[in-house]
Homo-oligomer: A and B are copies of this chain.
């Protein structure tokens, strides 16, 4: 039964028994919690669109294992065309949800593991790849959401894992048993964690011999015993608890992050994909990071929403024909499409790895992500410029509906006779949402740090550049014989 419906997906989440905390209390029903639910809606959209013929080509693929039609989020890329479609799917969903739809991190984990497990086996004669393929088939057949869990809390960043004052600041093996291992630690910033069926754990940095116990990768059901979730809070999160929807800006979708704690959790052997092969920790991180940096294609779609909203705000203000407004919208589009070029180019320049999986061009994926740490901020700045100050001085929805204040709010925020004050307020709240509110978390700060902070990309760019070739060209042209 590959290809669940959105409804089946929601029901499948209800069947889980997650231990989730928010505001210091256990969450009774994750799916129904008003703060969490919009993030579930966003994931559900990845199921819904897979059934829409208009989007089937982007949203689904043919499994190379089973030949079944599967959701592209569970697919292993078989060509550069697959990689390009992944970028386009990301933009599509970003535009459809205006937020982080959370499912790419699992897809990127699966693809990275399909390559690295193969490579480990080649060197060590292990059977990780076989295990992985069995697991992959299970994920594809059941159309599951996987959380890809990489980032450890890291404690004192100037020390390696095994020298941390608290040895649990990186997730590690604390016991080996006959039937599996026991792990302890935590993974921070886990996007979409409580909307996932599975958690795929990977190490977060390159590791030396002494960090062997930390070089561990595995998959578990998200409600495995000992896994605890503590929700992160977002700017304006509690607006979702208020009556009405206008002040939320995005009335349908949102994102979430959580701290995931592993309190001595048992992992059976068949779900282990790396255990002690520390020299592969770095390559796994790099491979995952390259895929995941490509995934920031989604921000182009969120940019589409913000551009559309800014255009509408300009129309409400009656200034859409002013040359400086048109120019700012062109600049927003220019920056947004420059990002699009990045996620297309790193896909188009992808290559087949020994395992048969296609990977993106690492250099260009890093270049793309580096731009993602910059341009959304400038696009957001321009959106605020166009929106006008009212975006942050607007009264609440209650002021619009209250009998006491409605007359003034209606009257004084009216602009063109053919447009509604309510609509103007809605579009301004959406821009607020994307530049200061819950969605700004995803569009801005996570654009900065997700898939690695800017400096991580700069280091990779420095490493992947062929400087020798460039020097040779310069020497030849200025007449220096080497």
Contacts and interface: CB of A to CB of B under 8 A. Distances in A.
Interface stretch (A135-143, A265-273, A277-285, A320-328): A320-328
Given A348-B344, A478-B251, A333 B462 contact: yes
A223 interface: no
A189 interface: yes
Contact of A414 (B97, B155, B349, B454): B155
A389 B448 contact: yes
A417 interface: yes
Contacts of A384: 444-445, 448-449
Contacts of A475: 308, 312, 427
Interface string A256-269: 01110100000000
Given A253-B477, A324-B323, A415-B157, A408 B228 contact: yes
A226 interface: no
A423 B479 CA distance: 9
Nearest to A349: B344
A395 B330 contact: no
Contacts of A97: 477
A385 B405 CA distance: 41
A317 B153 CA distance: 10
Nearest to A303: B470
Nearest to A246: B479
Interface stretch (A10-18, A110-118, A163-171): A163-171
A401 interface: yes
B95 A261 contact: no
A155 B479 CA distance: 23
A447 B105 CA distance: 36
A396 B478 CA distance: 15
Contacts of A381: 374, 377, 444, 448
With most chain B CB atoms within 10 A of its CB, the pick from A169, A235, A364, A461 is A235
Contact of A259 (B98, B257, B412): B412
A234 to B, nearest CB: 6
Contact of A189 (B342, B347, B393): B393
Copies of this chain, how many?
4
Contacts of A341: 338, 341-342, 344-346, 364, 367-368
Interface string A159-193: 00000011011000000000000000010110000
With most chain B CB atoms within 10 A of its CB, the pick from A97, A323, A446, A473 is A473
Nearest to A186: B412
A462 B337 contact: no
Contact of A423 (B186, B234, B458, B480): B480
- Leading 10 A-B pairs by shortest Cβ distance: A24-B402, A308-B470, A389-B449, A24-B398, A232-B393, A308-B474, A341-B345, A323-B323, A348-B348, A257-B393
30 contacts: A21-B402, A22-B395, A23-B402, A24-B402, A25-B402, A25-B404, A98-B477, A156-B416, A168-B412, A188-B390, A228-B408, A230-B395, A232-B395, A259-B393, A259-B395, A259-B408, A261-B408, A304-B470, A308-B473, A324-B458, A330-B458, A333-B465, A337-B367, A341-B345, A377-B377, A381-B444, A384-B444, A388-B449, A426-B478, A427-B478
